[in-house]
Amino acid sequence: MLRVIRVRFSYLCLFVVILVLGYFSLRVIYDHMENRRVAALSWSLANKVIVVDPGHGGIDPGSKGPTGAIEEDITLEVARKLATVLSQAGAIVLMTRESDMDLSDAEGGSLLARKRQDLSRRVALANEHEADAFISVHVNSFKSGPLEHGAQTFYQPGSEEGKKLATSIQSELVRMLRNTNRKAKAVDYYTTRNAKMPAVIVEIGFISNAKEEKLMGDVDYQGKLAYVIYSGMVKYFAEHATPTSGAVDKEKAMETFMHNKGETYNAP
């Protein structure tokens, strides 16, 4: 009897091992296929004007982590990487800052007045260039809850397109980072309220959480974050593109049709 149970127990263990291995293999295959899909859809970003905004800088360094990491440095690094990957896909990328600076006048008055001027100029850059999307990169902080964690996107309440873009980026953050289950959230921020295009604030993690502070300072993780945001943007723009958008040269289309008439293809 004992032997039978022992044999059955070993079968059970084998079954669990197969199940776990199967799950992880499927996950790897799924991720690989999704990455290929994103690569195939990267055309959706071609010629799109994207404003990438590294949060803070200059007069306002942003939040500080328990071991001294500063928001303005992390946001700049991730934004730079995001700008690179967007440019590689053919997007026209404008960054609101490329060093430790802000956009306010040095003699702009109080800190609050300069902060307002800085934010309004960041949004104005996007509005003046009629950008297709405004992406602002920030880090979150919650000092009274040091275990609070997870990247999250924010959009302007009432903005349908902002919500779609934020949701697309959020689902990629959840799928690829595997350390956040947060949802895209509607919050009234100055930048998203005044932007005339889909605008999203991506809080890439909690700097008040020591583990995430360290992660966000890691160059590879920063690159991963940039790819994840890019991936969400690719999917958003691909979903919004229609095959008939843009001018269609009817004569050319007809010529192609005539050229190929009579040819049939069998299903593989």
Query: Considering beta carbons, is residue 70 or 91 the nearer one to Zn ion?
Result: 70
CB of 62 to Zn ion, least distance (A): 5
CB of 15 to Zn ion, least distance (A): 48
Residue 29 burial (C-beta neighbours within 10 Å; 0-12, 13-18, 19+) = exposed
Helix (H) / strand (E) containing 202: strand 199-206
Label residues 157-176 b or e (16+ Cβ within 10 Å = b). Answer: eebebbbbbbbbbbbbbbeb
Placement of tokens 């966000």 in the chain: 216
- For residues 139 and 110, give the distance between their C-alpha atoms in angstroms, rounded to a whole number: 24
Query: Considering beta carbons, is residue 189 or 221 the nearer one to Zn ion?
Result: 189
CB of 195 to Zn ion, least distance (A): 16
CB of 122 to Zn ion, least distance (A): 12
Query: Considering beta carbons, is residue 45 or 184 the nearer one to Zn ion?
Result: 184
- For residues 124 and 190, give the distance between their C-alpha atoms in angstroms, rounded to a whole number: 12
Query: Considering beta carbons, is residue 81 or 138 the nearer one to Zn ion?
Result: 138
The residue sitting closest to Zn ion, measured at its beta carbon, is: 138
Residue 3 burial (C-beta neighbours within 10 Å; 0-12, 13-18, 19+) = exposed
Query: Considering beta carbons, is residue 55 or 198 the nearer one to Zn ion?
Result: 55
Binding site for Zn ion (CB under 5 A): 55, 62, 138
CB of 94 to Zn ion, least distance (A): 20
- For residues 179 and 161, give the distance between their C-alpha atoms in angstroms, rounded to a whole number: 26
